[in-house]
């Protein structure tokens, strides 16, 4: 998850941080794992915007054809688990009583449990984590919508097998 996604989650959980942009203050780590990937097709417009072409059918009726439609394949995680680490128990408890809407409000995250654990235990949770870095030490992961579309960089950490079985509890 990119820095701006984590920052967006943080701003939803802690609205008093809305005035401060480009800084993640309360969510100190995150990890995600899932049960599988489902590839779905999505219709999209090309970068140039909408273009249409006027045509006539065999009866002389006019109709339009969109010329710049495309179809992309998007991988959707099945049953993802997102683990958030907070600086303190009070922040974790405050975040725990809320629901999060992710990326385009299609993905809803409902809290399941809250656990106090040392950093070493969090480091053992299987899954992916994007550590936010500078340009020199990471790769480009997008543009930050909270910081004037500045470039974001990160280093991907994979712990164990991020694809869990349906009944597995990774903690």
Q: What is the secondary structure of 71-108 as a DSSP string?
A: EEEEEEEES-EEEEEESSHHHHHHHHTS-EEEGGGTEE
Q: Could you tell me the pLDDT band of residue 34, with boundaries at 50, 70 and 90? A: very high
Q: What pLDDT score does 171 carry?
A: 46
Query: Using one digit for the tens of pLDDT, what is the confidence trace for 36-93?
Result: 999 989 887 776 666 677 888 888 888 887 767 778 898 888 888 999 999 999 999 9
- Distance, in Å, from the CA atom of 159 to the CA atom of 124, rounded to the nearest integer, reads 7
Backbone CA torsion sign across 133, 139, 143, 148: positive
Q: How many CA within 13 A on the CB side of residue 90?
A: 1
- Distance, in Å, from the CA atom of 132 to the CA atom of 38, rounded to the nearest integer, reads 27
**Average confidence (pLDDT) over 119-131:** 95
User: CB neighbours of 160 closer than 8 A, spacing ≥ 6?
Assistant: 124, 126, 127
Q: What percent of the chain has pLDDT over 70?
A: 90
């Amino acid at each position: 998850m990119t820095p701006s996604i984590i920052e967006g989650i943080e701003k939803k959980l802690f609205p008093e941080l809305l005035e401060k942009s480009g800084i993640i203050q309360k969510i100190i780590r995150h990890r995600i794992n899932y049960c599988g990937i489902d590839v779905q097709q999505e219709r999209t417009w090309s970068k140039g915007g909408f273009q249409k072409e006027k045509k006539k059918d065999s009866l002389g009726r006019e109709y339009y054809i969109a010329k710049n439609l495309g179809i992309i394949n998007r991988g959707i995680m099945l049953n993802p688990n997102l683990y958030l680490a907070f600086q303190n128990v009070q922040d974790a408890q405050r975040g725990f009583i809320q629901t999060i809407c992710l990326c385009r409000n299609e993905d809803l995250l409902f809290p399941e449990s809250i656990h106090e654990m040392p950093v070493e235990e969090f480091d053992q949770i299987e899954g992916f984590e994007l550590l936010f870095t500078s340009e020199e030490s990471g790769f480009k992961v997008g543009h930050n919508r909270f910081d004037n579309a500045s470039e974001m960089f990160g280093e991907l950490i994979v712990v164990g097998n991020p694809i869990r079985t349906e009944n597995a509890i990774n903690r």
